[in-house]
Structure 1
Amino acid sequence: MQALRYAEALASIGAKVVASRLDNGPEWLALDLALRELDAAHVPLPTFFTPAQVQHAIASSGAQVLVTAAGHPMPAGVDAFGTRALDTSLAMSRLDVQPQALPAGTACITYTSGTTGQPKGVCLSEESMLEVASSLVDATRSLSTRRHLCLMPLSTLLENVSGLYAALLANSDIAVPSLAEIGYTGAAGLDMSRLLACMAKYEPESAIVLPQLLLGLVTAAEQGHRMPSSLRFLAVGGGRVGARLVQRAKAVGLPVYEGYGLTECASVVSLNRPGADRPGSVGRPLLHAKVEIRDGEVFVEGARCLGYLGEAGPPPGPIATGDLGHLDEDGFLHITGRRKNIFITAFGRNVSPEWVESELLQHPLLAQAVVWGEAKPTNVAVLWPRRADASDAEIAGAIAEVNAELPDYARIGGFLRAERPFSVEDGLLTSNGRPRRDAILQRYSNRIAEHYLHGAMNLHDEITT
């Protein structure tokens, strides 16, 4: 009923492209369903977008209306008029924006983090998103989960498709607590005590998490905190996870299944699942997807985006993901890194930094890390510890523990402590918490050069002094 009321109100002003900037909650879902009823395009804007990013998204999409929480001010720099209530919780405002030509059938415009501060708008059809959601329902049918807890922002395509749409198709209940109740603080902060309380309150049977959130849950469980006994399926994706973290999760009883996807393919492409689970892989392709490897790169055919805003979309045929990987003899997909991020050491060895970084971030002392070693005899890590008071010797000891499990060419030869945690606000993290590699290396380029010139922060020196 709520969705139908929203649809009637939006139809009365002829809204066909509607942006929203909302916290997680039932109203977000009702608005999205209302726009599906109208065959209108939804432009979900993350609450952590900067004013410049909000302005870019609204202008590039040609959004006619912005829906916000009732009583909230307009984002800075957004010209709106004719504000009226959708109900007691939401308000809609007309926008003074130039219309934009959208691909036919656009139902959602989602903005990827990209590698720069300007997010890229990806246009998706309802058909492609529901195709992925249907495949996910099929892949997890044996679990018969009946309560999904949304732990990611609903503006994230992964939660939108894999959480909301898949749960609706499976006739599951959906819990949509606010981001504050989940424990989020800002774009990348998380209060673990709130998260644990949230999970205990809603007793979910399924949920989706990013790797860093999984690490927090695993660490909490290892410290004796109780996880919900109701939990039957905990999907993890959005970044490299690492086999050791999955093993730790399973050891404390968390039913973790790693998956893989990308926005251009309408979210999930492959997923481990009950009866077809291989830790270290990202699972077998879902029913709708065909995966092949060309010259070490992953190509995907199946559900795909309609195009990008303001630029050409992927060419016809299988989509080149830019991810490196391989399919094993049983059809499980293994992702090893990004083609563009591979560096070659002075000894001619190819190193995928994502692999080394994922190993570093599984250590309980290390929170953020970016690894580099192009044409150098050793690799260097720019990092931030979980404890701000951690000494350099402690950090060096943590890296030494990780190095013991790595081949010599991938080991960290030295480290630089970052000036402060990488954040979205300083341009060093993407909107979903991934490091902006080029920006971080540029920010610390002088110190990296000094490290290689003078051997500063050499691990051997740190451990033996």
Structure 2
Amino acid sequence: MSPELHAFQQRLALHAVERPQVSALWGDERRIDYASLLAEIDRRREWLRDVEARSLALALVDASNTLLWDLAALFEEIPCILLPPFFTPAQRRHCLEQSQVYTVLADPVHDDELAGAGYQRAGLFWFRERAQALLPPGTAKLTYTSGSTGTPKGVCLSAAGILGVTQALAAATQASGASHQMALLPLAVLLENVGCYAALWLGATVSLPSQQRLGLQGASNLNLPVLLATLAERRPDSLILVPQLLQVLVGAAEQGYLAPGWFRFLAVGGARVSTPLLQRALALGLPVHEGYGLSECASVVSLNRPGLQRPGSVGKPLPHVQVRLADDGEVLVSSHAMLGYLGEPSAVPVWWPTGDLGQFDEDGYLYLHGRKKNQFITSYGRNVNPEWIEAELTQGGVIAQAFVYGEAQPRNHALLWPLNPASADTQIQEAVERANQALPGYAQVHAWSRLDQPFTPDNGMLTSNGRPRRDAIIAHYQHLLTANPAAEDIAS
């Protein structure tokens, strides 16, 4: 067992002695205290040894059971893949085929998929003929990201890299005093997975309701009353959020449906958070801390911490990584977590090009300005990152989806879908004007069109994890985006 794994195991053993009755995992139907946690993990390790598993894929609804199997594979030093529930069957099959995973543990809903992929069931697991995947030596976790094309790409991560992030994240958040973290995102989302490890490192309770109990369906559908009821029942003091979930919680708190005082630490990442939304959250007393990370660095790279916070930034880099900027402003990260992309023989560069544009302030806080590849240049020669504008548009409580385009155009055009389909055009126009107030003239929305349907994976306009397929949107709506209406037609 590697030193990093041994240290993690020793932490859990220490918690078993010092806080045996504290709940380590709280699922839908059961709780497991720290006195029992290692025994539950060891029981699963023994099952993996019995079937001579060399790799493991998980597709389970029960999040507490998923985490136990994930930890068993980690300690057994078996590569593990958590298949995202928001992936399509075709994407899941791609993951299984590319990884050549031998052992699968899945819910019955996946039986036909697995049989069709050549697996056979034997007892608890599904197996197929052994095949050698080209996993780099030392791979502990294979995490898949759909990216902008929708084709899942496997990122191979080492245990040392993952646990380096775990320890850095635990140290950065410990001062908050949080003792109960609830996982809102699926565990297949690396940030949530590593966040659970960090909570266990600190001896906190990790609450793992099913996505059904959380009111979450697929990648983007939310039943707010169900979510609020579960939060009220369990009273977690720490959450990991994406901007859309932060907006939901801020709105609920403003209307009196959520008590901000429950929380000690709210981490938010995954996309840009607009300044007005942050201001609303902080005004309510919500302890929001923006962070930044990517799968290739085993998730978190930088984070605003208790006592070290600058709203609008993504915080200072954590000590397990080094961060610098390229001449064009691209964020470069030196990390030891990534071993390579699955199936791609190219070596991992010492300084990983993230594709994100950023800058540091004089105190070392990192500010991001969007994706390098998504940047467009207006006909006036201004460089504009559309994600900046889109964040301002969608986090004001009126607009659900926004897509902004201005390549070689004198004006920026937005495609908009409202949160409430019954919203009048005047409401949308007011929301655009409010967003424009926070933007310089060259980045403002000068014209917009109301969409007749939202962007979804089914119509090819979103990836499965909710990111816009920019090339597909531009191709489909080119007649609107390049119309160049006059300024007086802005409200059309």
**TM-score, normalised on structure 1?**
0.93
Q: Which residue of 1 aligns with 2:467?
A: 434
Could you tell me whether the CA contact under 8 Å between 1:373 and 1:379 is conserved in 2?
A: yes
Equivalent residue in structure 1 for 2:72, among 27, 34, 37: 34
Q: Which amino acid aligns with 1:5?
A: R
- Displacement of 1:72 in angstroms is 5.3
Give the whole-Å Cα distance in 1 for the aligned partners of 2:379 and 2:130: 52
Give the whole-Å Cα distance in 2 for the aligned partners of 1:147 and 1:394: 40
Deviation track 1:371-419 (CA, whole Å, cap 9, x = no partner) reads 1100101001112110111233332232122223321111112112223
Give the SS at the match of 2:261: coil
Q: Which amino acid aligns with 2:440?
A: P
- Displacement of 1:212 in angstroms is 0.6
Aligned residues: 452
Equivalent residue in structure 2 for 1:50, among 70, 88, 96: 88
Alpha-carbon distance change, 176 to 375 in structure 1, aligned in 2, over 3 angstroms: same
Q: Which residue of 2 aligns with 1:88?
A: none
Superposition pairs for residues 345-356 of structure 1, below 5 Å?
345-356=378-389
Give the whole-Å Cα distance in 2 for the aligned partners of 1:430 and 1:70: 26
1:7 maps onto 2:40 in alignment: no
Deviation track 1:251-301 (CA, whole Å, cap 9, x = no partner) reads 112110000001111100000011100001000111111111111111111
Q: Which residue of 2 aligns with 1:374?
A: 407
1:363 maps onto 2:396 in alignment: yes
Could you tell me whether the CA contact under 8 Å between 2:261 and 2:286 is conserved in 1?
A: no
- Displacement of 1:84 in angstroms is 1.4
Equivalent residue in structure 1 for 2:212, among 174, 177, 180: 180
Give the whole-Å Cα distance in 2 for the aligned partners of 1:14 and 1:460: 70
Alpha-carbon distance change, 26 to 333 in structure 1, aligned in 2, over 3 angstroms: same
Give the whole-Å Cα distance in 2 for the aligned partners of 1:461 and 1:318: 47
Q: Which amino acid aligns with 2:296?
A: E
1:159 maps onto 2:192 in alignment: yes
Could you tell me whether the CA contact under 8 Å between 1:360 and 1:399 is conserved in 2?
A: yes
1:130 maps onto 2:163 in alignment: yes
Percent of pairs with identical residues? 46
Superposition pairs for residues 253-292 of structure 1, below 5 Å?
253-292=285-324
Equivalent residue in structure 1 for 2:371, among 338, 343, 351: 338
Give the SS at the match of 2:127: strand
Give the whole-Å Cα distance in 1 for the aligned partners of 2:256 and 2:139: 47
Give the whole-Å Cα distance in 2 for the aligned partners of 1:169 and 1:70: 32
Q: Which amino acid aligns with 1:320?
A: P
- After TM superposition, the structure 1 stretch with the greater mean CA deviation from structure 2, 208-217 or 29-38, is 29-38
Equivalent residue in structure 1 for 2:424, among 363, 380, 391: 391
Give the SS at the match of 2:373: helix
Q: Which residue of 1 aligns with 2:14?
A: none
Q: Which residue of 1 aligns with 2:99?
A: 61
Deviation track 1:183-211 (CA, whole Å, cap 9, x = no partner) reads 11222111111111111111112110001
Q: Which amino acid aligns with 2:74?
A: R
Alpha-carbon distance change, 104 to 80 in structure 1, aligned in 2, over 3 angstroms: same
1:121 maps onto 2:160 in alignment: no
Give the SS at the match of 1:6: helix
Give the SS at the match of 1:387: coil
- Displacement of 1:69 in angstroms is 2.3
Deviation track 1:333-364 (CA, whole Å, cap 9, x = no partner) reads 00011111111111111111111111101221
Could you tell me whether the CA contact under 8 Å between 2:261 and 2:285 is conserved in 1?
A: no
Give the whole-Å Cα distance in 2 for the aligned partners of 1:64 and 1:70: 18
Q: For the aligned residues, what is the CA RMSD?
A: 1.8
